[in-house]
Amino acid sequence: MTPYCGVPGPVARVAKRLLAIVFVAASAGAFAATPISDPRARAVATARDLAVTVRDSLAAPVPGLLIRVIAGDAGQARLATATAHLLTAFAAGDVADAEWERAARLARRRGDAAGYGMALIQRADIALAQGDYARCLELAERLQSLARRTGNPEWDAAAERNFGVVARRRGRLDSAMAHQQRSLDLYRADGNPVRAAQALSDLATVHRDRGDLGKALDSALESLAIREKAGVKVEIAYRNIALLYREIEDTEEARRYFRRAMDAAGTVNPVAYVTVLGPFSTLLNDVGDHRAAQAAAEEALAIDTVLGDRANQGFEHLEIGRALLGLRALDEAASELETALSFGRELGHREITARALLHLAEVSLRRRDHAEARGRLDEAIASLESARLMPQLAHAYDLREQLARAESDYPTALRFAHKHATERENLLGLRAGRQLAMLEARAQREQAEQRITLLAKDNQLKAAQIEKQKLLRHLYLISLAALAVLLLLVVWRFLSAIRHNRVLATTNAEIERQRIALDAANRLLERRALDLQHAAITDSMTGAANRGHAFDRLQRMIEDSRSSGSDLACLLVDFDHFKQINDAHGHLFGDDVLVTGVVAMRECLEPDDLIGRIGGEEFVIALAGRSGAEADTLAERLRERVSATLSAQWPPLRGMATVSIGIATLGALSQEPSVKALLEAADAALYAAKRGGRNRVRRLA
């Protein structure tokens, strides 16, 4: 539980030093009596025990009587406030709440509005951390009433923030947006940039939940700039940006910002550390690193259990369940997910409830319990559609389609397949392509309208010319007596035609200018569409095809080879000792090694050959129309070229920066040809190459 208001300077410095000492001592086993295995959780529990000792010592009869006699009500109030600050700094939420309640009582009795307002803020934040949303809202309402009586905008903003956080956790995103925007406006009007940074973080979270990632990133970056300048809780801003990159499946950027968040949180502040560790477990689950995700979530759960943060406990049980589900431990996963579901329903937290139901449905589906899976999925989909959690909703539609197919309910399967495809389009960014198409259609429509205008002007000119010819014909029939009048009319019409022609010339010039501008805009739109298409199928770091595009193209190459009767060779290339290189030189250096290696491999390939990145340091190469012997020769050339290039670029890596290559051909498969079968065969050959000592080529016979 992180206090909302800052702890006074002297108290904060003392609390931080004591907490650091407690953490080091607890990690070293100095407090062996505490029955908690995780060192950070043990440090928090030990700090809480110290907080209870401090509170009990000050609340003893003799000290209490002396304080009342010597200092009176004012001294009692100051001591209660200082004690509450200290307990809050020690992350003893429930203990601190009782002391803040006493401080609020004393402040109200003395008519101290400032002390009373500060106590209400702290109590509301503690209730929010403990998942007691009803009490949080009741305290926020009292705070807002006090703020409006006293004209204090900071208290009003704090109340609005609590309203917004509770509304978001209950899935009411429009209400949450309104409250957080008002909180931000109040803090800015009050000239409080640090509090405004917190409001921006909360606002970014609401934008993220609504799927508006552009606005979310703008708010998060603005919050980060303020926090970095003030040096206040930058780990929160880094974590929020990491979560946004996780939403768009940019795992490299997400990992980078999570690492920055953990570095900023430090190793001796478990309260700051756990705010990053829990969300990090979600990313680890998303990328399939389930063992690491389970360990991170269990460590975060141990700390949050001591802190009493029930909402975070619900999320951590959820991520442990997801990890166990990924590890195929269905019974253990179901137990953790049921616990998460009970937290979500108890707290009224829609996201926890919906996601727990979704993964419980996945467990039921794997157990072939279709009735239970259907009930859980339908409840999860209703909640996810209301909360607008698009990644989970797409997954739910996919599971519902699988269930319908398993039950031979093909109309339902088709309906949910369409829904799943629509959600995946949105998640993959095809909405941007549609916007470009709309812009192009709008440009074409404007061009058509201008052509119509030009034709209308041309018709007017022709009509004027026809009218002029009619007038001339009539002139020949008029008597000589009206010749002077007719001449004047002809001159007047002639001058009108000249002016009209000038206007038409100007209009034509403007139309031509606009046509040129529209042509330029169309070319720009075409370039952007090509850029978007390239970004969607290319690994941004190495320039190779990304995993999805590589698998799609490999499938097409298999189909072409089967229809033409030609062979197809598949090479799996894995960079040797890559983890050691990363550990020794850093991830950025490792990225350079991969990029240089891919460039070297491209030099040995034909333009039509496929090279794609399917894992961290693992690449696939597909060679159409090549026999096994030809693939062996090319693979050896690839291996030698990569080794030579990397050794020349970085001499210390000689003999270490190499690649192992496994080869499988379509004709050598013992089962029905498919992408999966071909990759599994190549993977088996790669494993043999690794086992044989690395830096070698093996082909599956």
pLDDT at 664: 95
Checking if the pLDDT of 349 tops 60, the result is yes
Identify the residue with better confidence: 63 or 591. 591
592 with 542: CB under 8 angstroms?
A: no
Give per-residue pLDDT as tens, 208-249: 777 777 788 788 888 888 888 887 788 888 888 888 787 777
Q: Is 624 helix (H, G, I), strand (E, B) or coil?
A: strand
At position 270, the amino acid (one-letter code) is: P
DSSP 304-353: HHHHT-HHHHHHHHHHHHHHHHHTT-HHHHHHHHHHHHHHHHHHT-HHHH
Is pLDDT larger for residue 191 or for residue 384?
191
d(CA 353, CA 350): 5
As a whole number of angstroms, the distance between CA 4 and CA 24 comes to: 26
Q: CA of 84: how far to CAs of 12, 22, 482, in Å?
A: 12, 19, 109
What is the percent of the chain with per-residue pLDDT over 90, rounded to a whole number? Answer: 28
> Which pLDDT value is given to residue 589?
93
pLDDT at 408: 87
* DSSP per position, 245-277: HHHTT-HHHHHHHHHHHHHHH-SS-HHHHHHHH
Cα–Cα separations (whole angstroms), residue 296 to 145, 186, 232, 244, 313: 41, 37, 25, 20, 13
* pLDDT confidence band for 205 (50 / 70 / 90): confident
Amino acid letter, 302: A
Closest among 678, 546, 558 to 619, alpha carbons compared:
546
332-425, CATH topology level:
1.25.40
pLDDT at 271 over 80: no
The first and second tokens of residue 580, run together, are 């050691």
CB 297 within 8 A of CB 269: no
Read off the DSSP letter of residue 480. G
Q: Give the span between the Cα atoms of 410 and 218, in whole angstroms.
A: 44
> Does the pLDDT value for residue 642 go beyond 50?
yes
Q: Please tell me the distance from the alpha carbon of residue 436 to that of residue 273, in angstroms, as a whole number.
A: 42
**Distance in angstroms (rounded) separating the CA atoms of residues 333 and 321:** 4
pLDDT digits (tens, 9 = 90+) for 144-174: 999 899 999 999 999 999 999 988 888 788 8
Positive or negative torsion for Cα 311, 315, 317, 318: positive
Distance CA 666, CA 652 (A): 39
Strands 659-665 vs 610-613: parallel, antiparallel or unpaired: unpaired
State the virtual CA torsion across 599, 604, 605, 610 in degrees, nearest 10: -50
Buried b (16+ CB within 10 A) or exposed e, 483-498: eeebeeeeeeeeeeee
At position 115, the amino acid (one-letter code) is G
Which residues touch 467 (CB under 8 Å, ≥6 apart)?
none
With bands split at pLDDT 50, 70 and 90, how would you rate the model's confidence at 474? confident
For residues 209 and 389, the answer to whether their CB atoms sit within 8 Å is: yes
Q: According to CATH, what is the number of the domain 547-699? A: 3.30.70.270
Structure token digits, residue 681? 């065969």
Contacting residues for 282 by C-beta, under 8 A, at least 6 apart: 246, 293, 315, 319
418 — pLDDT class (breaks 50, 70, 90): confident
At 33 the pLDDT is 44
Beta-sheet strand order (sheet of 610-613): 610-613, 618-624, 568-575, 659-665, 697-699
Distance CA 230, CA 241 (A): 18
Token reading at 89: 């700094």
Residue 88 has pLDDT above 80, yes or no: no
DSSP H helices in 538-586: 547-564, 578-585
**Top-level class of domain 1-151:** mainly alpha
Residue whose pair of structure tokens reads 């795992």 in the numeric block = 251
pLDDT, mean of residues 463-476: 81
Query: What's the pLDDT score for residue 671?
Result: 87
